[in-house]
A and B are shown apart, each in its own frame.
Chain A
Amino acid sequence: MKLTLLAVLLLAAAIPAARAQGNYEIQVYGAETVAPRSTMVELHSNFTADGQRRTIDGVAPTYHAEHETLEITQGINDWSEVGFYVFTSEQSGLGPQWVGDHIRPRVRVPEKWRWPVGVSLSTEVGYQRALFSPDTWTWEIRPIVDKTAGRWYFAVNSALERTWHGPDVNLGLGFSPAAKISYDFTKRITGGFEYYADYGSITSIATLHNQQQQLFPAIDLNLSPKWEINFGVGIGPTAATDHWIVKGIIGRRFDWGRHNKGQ
């Protein structure tokens, strides 16, 4: 199994990657995957309080846009899962709109390997309408490393992105890192910061003015093993970033079989 998983990791690492999902899914991934015989259903709700106000190159503005994303993730085994996304947008003048769909397989180093940090690798491919993103077909690969130490949690996502169809098709690999640090104030309340960025092409890093930089003070509520709740407010200080975004994630896990815990 180790050899199979290593082969999958290496194969995935060799594949070029593409552009991320803007502010449709704002989340720093942990290394853990959904358990086998379980399905995670999440709703990502993001409201851009202060963003791009004009239509640019046929792409709708983000100002006061409400983005609702449905994410369904199915656990395959103890080291892999597959996620599926439905992106939607609602804003003045356009009404509710379907934006696009993505699929995201992910593999991880199983806990039983007893690595000192959690490691997983996701790759995401999908389509979004040109009205909402100039690049319509994109591909992303995202190495994920995380670590829980007592009450502290750290995660780093070093996403590489590649456009398959759109104006950025010749841009090469883009670098969009994300990171999270949080602290367990109680068993149920965890607070911390999430950081998201887009530095542009790895061969030609954009100027700070043109980079996307966002910092979200965020809280996670661990009210029940079956529920996932995350809330944050993002600040974007650069010109290329939506300046204020309010984000929320609510997720519910459904188990279809018995698991080790509690039998």
Chain B
Amino acid sequence: MYAEAGKKGAMNKPTVNSLSQPGPCRREFLRRASLAAAAVLAPMPQLLYAQAPSGQADSGQGPKSSDAVGETASPDYRLQIAEIDWELAPRKNVRTTAYNGQIPGTLLRLTEGQPVSIEIVNRLNRPEIVHWHGQWIAPAVDGSMEEGAPMIPPGATTRIAFTPHPSGLHWYHTHAMAHRDLKHGLYSGQFGVLLVDPPSNPARYDQEQFLVLHDWEPYYAASDDGSLMVNYVCGSINGRMLGHDAPIQVREGQQVLFHILNASATQVHKLSLPGHSFQVLALDGRPVPSRARVETIRLGPAERASVLVAMNSPGVWILGETNSAFRSAGMGTVIEYAGRAGKPVWTAPASPHWDYRVFGDAVPVVRKPDLTLPLVFTSRFQGHGALDRWMINGKSYPDTAPILLKEGLRHRLIFDNRSMDDHPVHLHRHSFELVSIRGAVLSGVHKDVVIVEAGTVVEADLVANNPGNTLFHCHQQDHMDSGFMALFQYA
């Protein structure tokens, strides 16, 4: 699927269970074919990412009338959840679950404002649920049972319909709990890219590539701070370990747009491409006011970045994890210039630093909130051989009371992380605007996931304008499984 833009034919190499290959429905097939044709035939640079007016808060438009479980003659897309054997590298297979028999799942490329229907078939022997991460849609179709969306029973088929909004790089993934079973939830291969094209976009690029990061073969290990943590044997980009996928072919002078998604269950990743810089266009699908160039992209679980890279340093390079342990375990891919050959080169970035603030307004806009909501993150020790219990404001889900929002008001969420872990916290069905990190103000950076580092405070403004149950949680699978969730409700 991704080969349409990336010419990475090796994406189709892995063997899959024949039961897990339903094939795309006709409309999807036509869409793929037209995209592939556009990539091959269009001589002009393509366009993407309109710049949002700087400093604006989220419009947070409510769900369209079509945001409901709907029945039409035939769905626009079909997703089948089933077990597969997936080849990460020669002689390195994993048995996992995935969408449409591939990892990542089928690329869903939608158009903002154009309703879509998706049929989901659950071939597993356990209930499943698919979350449309980053979409401002109704709770009934958002894909979170905590919000009231139904689980898909084993063997059942369901159909959902919604109107994609907002545009940008988003994703879909399982929202099932894993608890102590490291084959379920986001430890599995149930994730895929959801790209929502805007009605118009002025950014120029010559080639578009999708990079989806994931970690495999999780196991529990003792952490430095005495609690259990999840480690992984290997990692992959687009389902293949470094050195075992076809290189991404580029030409000198090209502008390549990379859509990067960290689909790891728990692990923060930093990526770098030696000899090149990343111009950040959008974070979590939302355009940033300052398109700063950085050497390193840091993405927590569920974070996304759309970045432009000027291909002006011919050679064969590794685009990979800055941490050598992760890189040698597979987290990387190869960028190969036309006419160049040889062993891929890696050099560590001079500046691995990452700071959300550099992407904000040059002069931060300070706004006064209508309400403040302190959210204090703590943990309760359960023994060196057990996962910590996580709490928000002293309560661990589901033993919590809903946090009330008032429609139309600007709520200042104060993420006060008093634990020893970093937390990529995520808000469903909305995005928020970062307003301060460690006391330093910023504006214009809208996200739906933000990493709150250990012992720090991050403040973000949420304009409550998408009524309905809204889940807030840490996107580390082991943390959300251990109570790090809260339900927001509109008063």
A-side interface residues toward B, CB under 8 Å?
A: 32, 111-112, 114, 147-153, 184, 186-187, 190, 222, 225, 258-263
- B-chain residues with CB within 8 Å of residue A262 when the two chains form the complex: 224, 422
- B-chain residues with CB within 8 Å of residue A148 when the two chains form the complex: 222, 383-385
Judge if B29 is at the interface, Cβ distance under 8 Å: no
Number of CB contacts from chain A to chain B under 8 A: 60
* Count of chain B residues with a beta carbon within 8 Å of a chain A beta carbon: 26
| Given A112-B231, A184-B381, A261 contacting B386 (CB threshold 8 A) | no
Report B249 CB to chain A, min CB distance, Å. 31
- B-chain residues with CB within 8 Å of residue A225 when the two chains form the complex: 224-226
Whether A150 lies near B382 (C-beta < 8 A) is yes
- Chosen A-B contacts, 8 in total, with CB atoms closer than 8 Å, are A112-B217, A147-B385, A150-B383, A152-B383, A186-B381, A222-B384, A260-B326, A263-B270
B-side interface residues toward A, CB under 8 Å?
A: 217, 219-227, 229, 231, 233, 268, 270, 323-326, 381-386, 422
CA distance A112 to B386 in the complex (A): 17
- A-chain residues with CB within 8 Å of residue B227 when the two chains form the complex: 187
Q: For B383, give its contact among A114, A147, A184, A260 (CB under 8 Å).
A: A184
Whether B386 lies near A263 (C-beta < 8 A) is no
Q: For A263, give its contact among B233, B323, B385 (CB under 8 Å).
A: B323
- A-chain residues with CB within 8 Å of residue B270 when the two chains form the complex: 263
CA distance A147 to B222 in the complex (A): 12
- A-chain residues with CB within 8 Å of residue B386 when the two chains form the complex: 150-151
| Given A225-B225, A261-B229, A263-B268, A114 contacting B384 (CB threshold 8 A) | no
Whether B231 lies near A111 (C-beta < 8 A) is yes
Whether B384 lies near A184 (C-beta < 8 A) is yes
CA distance A12 to B27 in the complex (A): 63
Q: For A112, give its contact among B219, B223, B382 (CB under 8 Å).
A: B219
Report B486 CB to chain A, min CB distance, Å. 24
Report B383 CB to chain A, min CB distance, Å. 3
Whether B384 lies near A153 (C-beta < 8 A) is yes
- A-chain residues with CB within 8 Å of residue B221 when the two chains form the complex: 111
CA distance A27 to B385 in the complex (A): 21
CA distance A187 to B222 in the complex (A): 13
CA distance A151 to B384 in the complex (A): 6
Q: Closest A-chain residue to B217, C-beta based?
A: A112
CA distance A258 to B323 in the complex (A): 8
Report B417 CB to chain A, min CB distance, Å. 14
